Amino acid sequence: MIKRFEVKTTAAAQMIDITAQVKGLVRAQNMSAGMIVVYVPHTTCAVTINENADPDVKEDIIENLERLVPSGGRYKHSEGNSHAHIKASVIGSSVNIFVESSTLVLGTWQGIFLVEFDGPRQRSVLVKFLPD
C-alpha cells in the first residue's frame, strides 16, 4: 500500500521535518512491524534522515551544499535549476525506515526531512508500507 501527502515549501532551499506526518501514516495503517519507504517523485528535491534537535544542522547542510553546487554555477541545462538537480541526486529520492512495535526505528536525534532545492513549490511525499 502507498499513501501520499503534500508539503508546501516556502523557500528556494530548505529542509522541512516531515517526521510527524510519516509517523501519523504509520499509526493510521496500524502497522506493527516491517519497513516503510519514504519517496519523493521529484527531480529537484530530496528526502533524508538527519538530526532534528539542532536547527543549525539544517542550515549547515543547505549552506554547504550551496557552496559545493552553487546556484549561480555554470550549467548547460536551460531551465536554470541544474544546481537543484545535482543536489537532489546527491541526497537521494528515498529513505528506508524500519518499524517495530508500531514505532519508527529512528535514532534519538533523527528526523525525516524533505529537502527542497528549487522552491517554493508544492511537493508530494509517498510512503510505501512493507509489513512483516
Task: Write down the pLDDT at residue 78.
Answer: 86
Q: Which of 109, 68, 121, 72 is nearest to 91 (CA)?
A: 68
For 76-117, write each residue's pLDDT tens digit. Answer: 998 989 999 999 999 999 999 999 999 999 999 999 999 999
Domains of the chain, CATH where assigned: 2-131 (2.60.120.460)
For 20-29, write each residue's pLDDT tens digit. Answer: 999 999 999 9
> CA 116, CA 38: separation in Å to the nearest integer?
15
Task: Write down the pLDDT at residue 12.
Answer: 97
For 35-86, write each residue's pLDDT tens digit. Answer: 999 999 999 999 999 999 999 999 999 999 999 999 998 999 989 899 999 9
Give the mean model confidence (pLDDT) for residues 2-17: 98
